[in-house]
Copies of this chain bind each other. A is one copy, B any other.
Amino acid sequence: MKVTKEKATENRTALIMAASRLFRERGIDGVGIAEICKQAGLTHGALYAQFPTKQALAAEALADGLTLSNRWLTAPGEDGKPPTLAHYLDYYLSPGSRDNMGGSCPMTASASEIARQDESISASFGEGFEQLAQAIEAALGKSHINASERERALAIMAALIGGVAVARGVVKANPALSEQLMQALRRVLGELGGEREGREVN
């Protein structure tokens, strides 16, 4: 039956949020329409009143997840200042983030899947990546390294995304390696970003 415009928008949001979480946890091919709709409190047919295809839902879910994640990550602190590099490292390189695939940055959850998806997904991913790269670039200080801040920001992003993906991949079989990798990244990326030694990084 028909439903308030307001309620319809609410349902659409619920679909996107459920899809966003489930796709991160199990991959796009790993989750069916039925389960997404069920978690959003709807029946499976309802999806097609909001989205033409599963791929279209996936594209919106990724874009939405990236927006939320980046907005939260780059929000100014209580002092009104933009986040420092340590803030980003704290976020990505914590067990809490590693063990919460469905609730953390979509780039770490889906990096190697993006190349297999439609161009609309590639575009969203690229924008999310660029956005965060600029925020990280702004957080960088001088470094020992003879590379521009832009270059160092891009390298830090790559290392965070790859590092979290690998830390998740090996944690079941080799938790010590997973931990060691995250600590190594804290140290190396901290220095790459120009943090003073012995500060928040150790």
The digit string for A159-198, where 1 denotes a CB below 8 A from any CB of B, is: 1111101101111111001001101110111011000010
Q: Are A112 and B109 in contact (CB under 8 A)?
A: yes
Q: Are A166 and B158 in contact (CB under 8 A)?
A: yes
Other-chain residue from B25, B151, B163 in contact with A162 (beta carbon distance below 8 A) = B163
Contact residues in B for A107 (Cβ distance below 8 Å)? 166
CB distance from A94 to the nearest CB of B (A): 15
Are B169's CB and A125's CB within 8 A?
yes
Asked if A147 CB lies within 8 Å of chain B CBs, one says yes
Interface size of A in residues (CB-CB distance below 8 Å): 60
Q: Is the CB of A155 within 8 A of B126?
A: no
9 closest pairs, A vs B, by CB? A162-B162, A114-B169, A144-B144, A158-B163, A29-B29, A155-B188, A115-B168, A123-B173, A161-B162
| Other A-B pairs beyond A27-B29, A188-B192, 15, CB < 8 Å | A27-B113, A112-B165, A112-B169, A114-B166, A114-B170, A115-B169, A115-B172, A122-B172, A129-B170, A130-B177, A151-B188, A158-B159, A158-B160, A158-B185, A162-B165
